[in-house]
Amino acid sequence: MSSIVIVGAGQAGIQVAEALRAGGFDGSLTLLGNEAHGPYHRPPLSKAWLAGEMDSTQLLMRAPEALARKAIDLRTGVTVTHIDRDARQVRLADGSALPYTGLVLATGASPRSLPLPGGDAKGVLALRSRDDADAIARQMAFCQEQQLPVIVIGGGFIGLEVAATARKKGLPVTVLEAAPRLLGRVLAPVLSDWYAQLHRSHGVELVFDTRISALETKTDGSISGVRLADGSVLPAGLVVVGIGVSANDQLAQAAGLTCDRGIVVDACGRTSDPSIVAAGDCTARRLPNGSLLRLESVQNATEQGKSAAAALLGVHKPFTATPWFWSDQYDKKLQMAGLSTGADQWAVRGDMGSGSFSVYHFHGESLLAVDSVNASKEHLQARKLLDTSVSPTLAQAADTEFDLATLLVR
Amino acid sequence: MANITYVDASGHSSTVNLANGWSLMQGATSSGIEGILGECGGSCACATCHCYVQEDRLGDLPEPSDNELALLDNVASERKPNSRLACQIKASPALEGLVVHLPETQE
């Protein structure tokens, strides 16, 4: 009988499992998670969950009965130690082995840690898992009691979302960023500035172009502050480190699969072993031009998950849709469509002062990406434009009187 | 609490008992009901939890926000007068017995 084992019970893992069942797979299906919790939504961890506005049943992606009904055998708290490709089995930390006819790697990514003295002090935390979020929430409560400030290292999405949540709790927050602006790798400069203004207006202290030399600790090993390269020390009761993630490709590497800062897959989620597919944050997708694309997003997890499940069932279903992402900070929803790398011209559509507008990224005449703030309709329209490679001109993009939907009419 | 019945495009129906405050999208995805995606996690941003609400009960629901109306312009299946986004409808005793139909496709 055929049996598929899925390593990783996050967004990609659950998607593969359900897509396999929806695609008619009737063999055994085992979903292995290394956390104590069943599959849960990660996006709220930095927001509603951290703020204490959600209960744990709402965080769960599926009720246990829903998994049982689809005969998805979820096993939590399980660590896979080895993939034996010759014997076609995975070995678990308890010494047992699980045979597979098809294997799915959905192992996610891990936050990068600070390679600095004191980087592992108590109260220096990253945010990836529910347990991480709970630890941050506890430390925030401690900061509230002791009236201690929070320092966020890294002005990326995770860091800024945590900063917004900390402000909601009334905590003093400073964000330290090595670059001269927030979200510099993704946003147009004009939007980085707008976000800086947004955070400042909510009372966040932003420090740019800064270098950290060490984390200062108390005698009990807990964090007391952050020492900057100029020698100054900023006191802190909690340091949240949001400086990016690394793909969890160690199992795949050890098994001899092609990896390059991620498990290398094609558009269908196939790895270099025909019986193994991979999906989600752990992957690096080979593009037609040979370059590798690493995406960390819900959409990437779900779409690659569907493609990977199809591949195991012998169906060709490449994931080629425009990438999209979102980030909620305060009452502002940022939705990004496309990849802005290489943009050299930008057009703003709408009034930035109104809090609802979009920034269109162009390389020459070609539309690369659109970032929308509190403008969901425009975001959905942008995805259609990008999916069909239709570019408005810069002037059309900037002109709110011009209806971009007319470009889509065929 | 409210019992909500979801009927998919092929006519298959499932009834879910939703706690107060849960959205109809959460109820469907948590129960593993196909036909509602909720890609954005319920923040009224993606239009992949489109549903058709039982017409004679539309009055039991709060009016859609401007943002919801804008997103309903972008749903993948036909928009009808009873089209709503399931993430914007929260369970309460007033919705007991509500039936929603799910569209052919969400994307």
Which CATH number goes with the domain that contains B61? 3.10.20.30
The pLDDT > 90 percentage for chain A reads 98
| A384 Cα to chain B: minimum distance (Å) | 10
Give me the pLDDT at residue A101, please: 98
CA–CA separation, A113 and A165 (whole Å): 22
Nearest chain A Cα to B22, which residue?
Answer: A58
Regarding the domain delimited by A124-241, which CATH topology (the fold level of the hierarchy) does it fall under? FAD/NAD(P)-binding domain (3.50.50)
Confidence of residue A309 (pLDDT cuts 50, 70, 90): very high
Q: What is the mean pLDDT of residues B92-100?
A: 96
* CATH dotted code for A3-110+245-312: 3.50.50.60
Give me the pLDDT at residue B40, please: 79
pTM of the model: 0.95
Give me the pLDDT at residue A166, please: 98
CA–CA separation, A126 and A159 (whole Å): 9
Distance of CA A368 to the CA centre of its chain: 21
| Residue A30 and residue A8 in contact, taking contact as beta carbons nearer than 8 Å | no
**For residue B2, which phi and psi values (nearest 5 degrees)?**
-155, 135
Q: Give me the sign of the Cα torsion angle A36, A39, A42, A46.
A: negative
Q: What is the DSSP string of A113-166?
A: PP-STTTT-BTEEE-SSHHHHHHHHHHHHHHHHHT--EEEE--SHHHHHHHHHH
A376 and B30 within 8 Å at the Cβ level: the answer is no
Within 13 Å and on the Cβ side, how many CA atoms surround A409?
Answer: 4
Q: What is the mean pLDDT of residues A317-341?
A: 95
CA–CA separation, A380 and A95 (whole Å): 48
B34-53 pLDDT per residue, tens: 889 888 777 778 889 999 99
Q: Which residues of A126-157 are buried (b: 16+ CB within 10 A; e: fewer)?
A: bbbbbebbebbbebbeebeeeebbbbbbbbbb
Question: Does B74 score more than 90 pLDDT?
Answer: no
Give me the pLDDT at residue A81, please: 98
CA–CA separation, B64 and B43 (whole Å): 14
User: In the beta sheet, which residues pair with residue A103?
Assistant: A5, A276
Which of A58, A66, A381 is nearest residue B26 as measured by Cβ atoms? A58
A266-288 pLDDT per residue, tens: 999 999 999 999 999 999 999 99
Q: Domain limits at B96?
A: 2-101
A62 and B32 within 8 Å at the Cβ level: the answer is yes
Q: Closest Cα to residue A174, out of A122, A234, A115, A133?
A: A234
Q: What is the mean pLDDT of residues A14-37?
A: 97
Which of A302, A335, A377 is nearest residue B74 as measured by Cβ atoms? A377
Question: Which tokens hold the place of B68?
Answer: 């919801």
| Residue B44 and residue B67 in contact, taking contact as beta carbons nearer than 8 Å | yes
A60 and B30 within 8 Å at the Cβ level: the answer is yes
Give me the pLDDT at residue B42, please: 78
Residue numbers in A near B19 (CB within 8 A): 57
CA–CA separation, A216 and A227 (whole Å): 7
Distances (CA, A) of B40 to A214, A236, A357, B36: 38, 33, 19, 12
Q: How many domains does chain B have?
A: 1
Give me the pLDDT at residue A202, please: 98
The answer regarding whether domain A331-407 maps to CATH 3.30.565.10 reads no
- Does the residue B37 lie in any domain? yes
Which of A60, A328, A380 is nearest residue B43 as measured by Cβ atoms? A328
- Does the residue B97 lie in any domain? yes
Q: Compute the residue count for chain B.
A: 107
Question: Does A409 score more than 90 pLDDT?
Answer: no
Question: Does A410 score more than 70 pLDDT?
Answer: no
A368-403 pLDDT per residue, tens: 999 999 999 999 999 999 999 999 999 999 999 999
Give the residue with greater pLDDT, B66 vs A226. A226
Give me the pLDDT at residue A283, please: 98
Classify B48 as helix, strand or coil.
coil
Residue numbers in A near B73 (CB within 8 A): 377
CA–CA separation, A338 and A347 (whole Å): 15
Strand order in the sheet with A233-235: A212-217, A223-228, A233-235
Residues of chain A with CATH 3.50.50.60: 3-110+245-312, 124-241
- Does the residue B106 lie in any domain? no
A88-110 pLDDT per residue, tens: 999 999 999 999 999 999 999 99
B32 and A67 within 8 Å at the Cβ level: the answer is yes
Question: Does A330 score more than 90 pLDDT?
Answer: yes
A142-163 pLDDT per residue, tens: 999 999 999 999 999 999 999 9
B45 and A333 within 8 Å at the Cβ level: the answer is yes
